[in-house]
Amino acid sequence: MNFGNPNFLIALVIVPILLSFFLLVFKRKRRLLQKFGNYRVLQKLIKNTSVKAQYLKIGLVCLVVALIVVAIARPQYGAIERPLVRKGVDIMIAIDTSLSMRAQDIEPSRLARAKEQLRGLLYRLRGDRVGIITFAGTAFVQCPLTLDYGIALDILDTIDTNSVPVQGTAIGAAIRKATDAFKHTEKGYRVLILLTDGEDQGSDPIDAAKKAAKEGIKIYCIGIGSTQGMPIPVEGAGYKEDKQGHKVNSRLDFTTLEKIALATGGKAVKANPHGELELDQVYGDINTMQKKLQESRIYTIYEDRFQYVLLPAIILLILEGIKSDRKRKRKEWTGRFE
């Protein structure tokens, strides 16, 4: 016997409290009657009331309360075993958090739109393990591979352009960090989704991509930004400037992203001007990949039997309402038939 809500059983303490309350009421009633005279004599004078019937009604009320509490606790008997199998791939998501991701050629900003679209991707994943890497001048694993999408979503919400203390754009470092994160996973089921404007600063991402391909990692690059470019807003007011005082214009380097994707057999997708990252294409490709077994468990589901407790409680409650505490009047035998 199991209980679906065992914590509710503590409410059974109500039964002795209720019983004690009724007994105190009877004692008080007896004391009040004793003030008028001998209690036994008064009991004989009050012929219409049955003390036994009153105690029986109290017992029924307490029993009904106990049965209702047990029913709420959901007694369970008998079980069904059901297998739960999760199949999927391992997906690392690398997000560019450099200052250039503040550019607003995609509204409200490159980084804000990337996070929004990734949030939608996480909601769609089924059985795939996911991890998150942030990178700028260097790369950090913010979330190791996990099946807990809630944790991944919480971490995604905290990411901003201050997530990585070293500024710059080291795409190669992000790819190498992802390669290291995949070391304890199975080849053939590894995917890296790279979200960046592609402006690498000397980290040799093509070489890193070729090494990732040897490890069975397929890279999907999402190019965020426009080829015309946009000045980079800075905190407070104004835009980022170079040493000569000119505004720094950040442009999408989609050519580099295409080379990275090509080296691993992946795909490069350019965000359109309205901010759609076309992640449907990426998700569609991932779904066509062979899925590996991520998790297999046998779940035991116990069958609820509360109805077998609740039904007697209802019947007893009806009986308590019908049951009278009055004595039955017996007709005296007259010795003749009328």
Domains assigned to the chain: 2-74+306-322 (no CATH), 85-295 (3.40.50.410)
Helix, strand, coil share of the chain (percent; to 5): 45, 25, 35
Output the furthest CA–CA distance in the chain (Å, rounded): 130
Query: Is the separation of the CB atoms in 246 and 299 below 8 Å?
Result: no
Q: Which of 139, 146, 257 is nearest to 197 (CA)?
A: 257
Burial of 177 (0-12, 13-18, 19+ CB in 10 A): buried
Q: Write down the pTM of the prediction.
A: 0.62
pLDDT on residue 184: 83
- Residue 212 tokens read as 């990732």
pLDDT on residue 228: 86
**Separation of alpha carbons 230 and 235, rounded Å:** 16
pLDDT on residue 107: 81
pLDDT on residue 235: 78
pLDDT under 70: residue ranges of the chain: 32-51, 81-86, 272-278, 290-299, 301, 324-338
The per-residue DSSP string of 236-280 comes to: SSSB-B-TTSPBPEE---HHHHHHHHHHHT-EEEEPPTT----HH
- Residue 34 tokens read as 């004793």
